[in-house]
Amino acid sequence: MNQPVIPRSWVASANGHADFPLQNLPLGIFSHDDQPPRCGVAIGDSILDLEAVLAAGLFEGQARRAVEATRGGALNAFFELGRPARVALRERLLQLLGENAAEQAQLSDFLCPATACTLHLPARIGDYTDFYVGIEHAKNVGKLFRPDNPLLPNYKYVPIGYHGRASTIRASGADVRRPKGQTLPVGQTEPSFGPCARLDYELELGIWIGRGNELGEPVPVAEAAEHIAGYCLLNDWSARDIQAWEYQPLGPFLSKSFITSISPWVVTAEALEPFRCAQAPRPEGDPQPLSYLLDNRDQANGGFDIELEVLLLTEKMREQNLPAERLTLSNTQAMYWTVAQMVAHHSVNGCQLQAGDLFGSGTLSGANPGQFGSLLEITNGGKEPINLASGEVRKFLEDGDEIILRARCRADGVASIGFGECRGKILSAH
């Protein structure tokens, strides 16, 4: 059998690039050389300046309107245009960056080395909702509190979520200041105040909302794709000791709102199309989703097969030039609900979603050790510390620790793509 031909780019570093080959073309907001932030597309080790390409007259029609909507340092207006504009832009970029593009010489001037650029948040985030669709995480965490009954009865009916804090979301690379807060030390009856002692990460998929819905008009599962602009990686930094004391009865609050990190590139649904899969079948005996959450096409093709990875780089590893150590290798197939079900559920009461809103999936742990998406699970609530190759031991994160999230999409006969990194380093408490 012939090997399928994978289209190549004239940008040499794109061919075989781990994250950004020609087939990905994620959009982001970047700046360089004191220029104001602007829209770019990641291609290999470079960023193509779309405003410069626009000024050179290389976009027409719908693709031109799409790029015009990216101006002003945020992608909200572009997200609002929805899928047709996004697809038109992608088709044009595939021509311009493809191997035989006639515009190659002209476009070379509009490429910036990514290492010389600063990446920003890609959109103004109006609202941030964190879901809890990683069922293995829900079971693992539930077990810590309720060994005999880890999943609460609503879990298999309701895509559980809570409203997070939009103002403290930062692009990859932002430092993470250890929060202070109230905790109830073990064996005490009165709380203490001080720096968080159980700082943790959560490995999540981020979902960018595209075109919004009108207040009072739910988005059906079958139409959800029209309202999704793209995807990123998300680290829902969590202060476990603060969380344990504050979370009842209304859920997480200050234990989550000190910072959330995301990867800055918006990976589109079109780029992820080859990595779609059937939603993982529900275990025998689980209820069917209620009808407003059930759509046969979504069940058949609404899942994602994306490998997710978490690495830890400690101060000592940096000093001794040791590589970052993998803590987690998981997959988006751990999602009990599809992204379309999350959109449908979020809006079923009439809640308005707006372009630039962000969803977190919830921690995406696998069922087995090595696949757990938080230290809370890996160390069994801090009871079983892990030994690192550097000789260090961790129950939770220490000052100087850096957490790095990565993703990898692989399928037969197509180029593998990634998301770029989501990094954050812990600074000591003020």
Residues engaged in binding Ca ion (CB under 5 A): 130, 202, 236
φ, ψ of residue 421 to 5 degrees: the values are -90, 155
Q: How far is the CB of 201 from Ca ion (least distance, A)?
A: 10
- Judge whether 137 counts as a catalytic residue: yes
Contact in structure between 372 and 140 (CB atoms under 8 Å): yes
C-beta closer to Ca ion: residue 236 or 377: 236
Q: How far is the CB of 235 from Ca ion (least distance, A)?
A: 9
Q: How far is the CB of 115 from Ca ion (least distance, A)?
A: 31
- Rg (alpha carbons) of the chain, rounded to whole number: 22
Tracing tokens 């609460």 back to the chain, one arrives at 152
C-beta closer to Ca ion: residue 130 or 402: 130
Q: Is 5 helix (H, G, I), strand (E, B) or coil?
A: coil
Q: How far is the CB of 162 from Ca ion (least distance, A)?
A: 9
Contact in structure between 195 and 241 (CB atoms under 8 Å): no
Kindly give, in sequence order, each residue whose CB lies less than 8 Å from that of residue 244, ignoring residues fewer than 6 positions away: 183, 184
Q: How far is the CB of 128 from Ca ion (least distance, A)?
A: 11
C-beta closer to Ca ion: residue 19 or 202: 202
C-beta closer to Ca ion: residue 52 or 306: 306
Contact in structure between 360 and 260 (CB atoms under 8 Å): yes
Contact in structure between 275 and 205 (CB atoms under 8 Å): no
Tracing tokens 């932030």 back to the chain, one arrives at 37
C-beta closer to Ca ion: residue 40 or 360: 360
Out of 17, 32, 120, 137, pick the active-site residue: 137
CA quadruple 360, 361, 363, 365: dihedral sign: negative
Q: What angle do CA 39, 339, 120 make, to 5 degrees?
A: 25
Of 86, 84, 70, 47, which Cα lies nearest the Cα of 268? 86
- Distance, in Å, from the CA atom of 209 to the CA atom of 224, rounded to the nearest integer, reads 10
User: Would you please indicate which residues are annotated as catalytic (active-site) residues?
Assistant: 137
